[in-house]
Homo-oligomer: A and B are copies of this chain.
Amino acid sequence: MIAPSQDSVCVAIDCMGGDAAPRVVFEGIALCAHELGKVALQLCGDPACIEPFFQETREKTRAYPVTLEVIPAEDVIPSDMKPAVAVRSHRNSSLGVAVRSVREHQAHAVLSAGNTGALMALSKVMLGMLEGIDRPAIATFLPTMRGQSLVLDLGANAECSARNLVDFCFLGEALAQIVLGVPSPSVGLLNIGSEETKGNHTVQEAADILKHARILKNYAGFLEGTDICAGTADVVVTDGFTGNVVLKTIEGSIHFVKDRIKGAIRPSAGMWLSALLLRRSMKKIFANLDPRIYNGAVLLGLDALAVKSHGGADDFAFAQALKFTVNVARQNLIGRVKGSLDKLSSLEENTTL
C-alpha cells in the first residue's frame, strides 16, 4: 500500500452505493472539500451516470487542493445482493473497482455507502485480513456521557463465534488506544446482565477466554445496554446482529426524544421569547447528538482501510464519512494498528518464553 503522508491522501469512493447515490456522494464532496486538505478522490462508477455530477462538483471544488478522477465501473451491486454473489461476479462493480484500487496501491482507503455485506466480502477477499484475524468487524465511535466509545461489530457479522468476539475485543482495544489516546482502554462484552451466568453461549464462552487468556490490558467484563450511552467502557464488543440493532435503536431513541421536545415547544401567548430561546438551546444540543456526525465506520481487521457510510446518508452525513476516512488514512491507522498487534504478539511470545 502507498504510505499515507500529511501531504496527500487518496480515497477510492464507490459512487453508486447508498440510497441516494450518486447525487449524495458528489454533494457530500462539495460540502466538505474545503476541510479535506490535499486529497485525491477516485470516483468509481458508471461514467454516463456520474458525469454531470462530476463536472458540477469539479466546478464547486476548484478552489481547494482536491483532485477528482473518474474510474469507470461496469455495474452496481444492489443493496440486497448476497455477498457471495458480489464476490463471484461483481468485482467490476463501482464497489469492486474502488476496493481494487486500494489493493493495487492506487488509493489509501475505500469508502462506500453501499451493500455492507458486499463491501465486507470484497474487502476480505481482495485486501486480505490482518494476521490471525478471521473476520472483519464494523467499528465506529459513538458519543457517550463520558466522551466517546468504540462500538463493534455494527453489522458485518450477523452471526459470530466466541473467537470472533475475542478478536473484536483485541482489535477494538488497539483502535481505541490510537484514537482515544488511552494506553489501556477498558473493553467489555455486551450482554443481558453483568452476572457470569447471564447471556447466550457465545458471549459466555468469549468471556471465559478473555478471563483466562488475559489478552486485554483492561477487560471490563459484561456490559448491559444502559452502559453504551453511559460510556462505562471505552470499547463495547458485541455480535453484528445485536450491534446493528443497538446502533439504530440509539438513533431512533434520540429522534424520539427530539420529536417529543419539538412537539412540546410551541410558542404560546406571552411565551414566544422563551420558546425561541428553548428552540435555540435544543437545536444546539441535538446537533451534537445527530447520528450523521458520527457517520463513517471502519471495517476493522482488514489489512487495509475500508470505511462504510450509512446507506441512508444525506450529503452532510456522507461528508462526515469522507472527512473521517481522510483523517484516519492520513493518520496511517492501519499501519499503527498493525504495529500494536505486532508489538503485542512479540510481547506475548516473550512472556510465554
- Please report A residues at the B interface, Cβ cutoff 8 Å: 79-82, 117, 144-145, 155, 158-159, 190-193, 195-201, 203, 224-230, 238, 240-242, 244-261, 264-265, 271, 273-274, 277-278, 281-282, 284-285, 288-289
Contacts and interface: CB of A to CB of B under 8 A. Distances in A.
A229 B255 contact: yes
23 contacts: A80-B196, A82-B197, A159-B200, A191-B245, A224-B245, A225-B244, A226-B251, A226-B255, A229-B253, A229-B255, A230-B252, A241-B242, A245-B245, A253-B257, A254-B257, A257-B285, A260-B285, A261-B282, A264-B281, A264-B285, A273-B274, A274-B277, A277-B278
Q: How many copies of the chain does the oligomer comprise? A: 2
Contact of A200 (B158, B196, B256, B264): B158
Nearest to A232: B252
A249 B226 contact: yes
> Secondary structure of the A side of the interface?
helix
A271 B276 CA distance: 12
Nearest to A85: B197
A199 B116 CA distance: 12
B225 A289 contact: no
Nearest to A278: B278
A202 to B, nearest CB: 9
Q: Which of A82, A256, A273 has the most CB of B within 10 A?
A: A256
A80 B196 CA distance: 7
Contact of A252 (B196, B203, B228, B271): B228
A289 B285 CA distance: 18
Contacts of A196: 80
Q: Which 8 A-B pairs have the closest CB atoms?
A: A225-B248, A253-B253, A225-B249, A229-B256, A192-B244, A226-B252, A229-B252, A80-B195
A192 B240 contact: yes
A80 B197 contact: yes
B227 A144 contact: no
Contact of A256 (B145, B241, B252, B273): B145
A225 B246 contact: yes
A271 B281 CA distance: 12
A199 B254 CA distance: 24
Contacts of A254: 253, 257
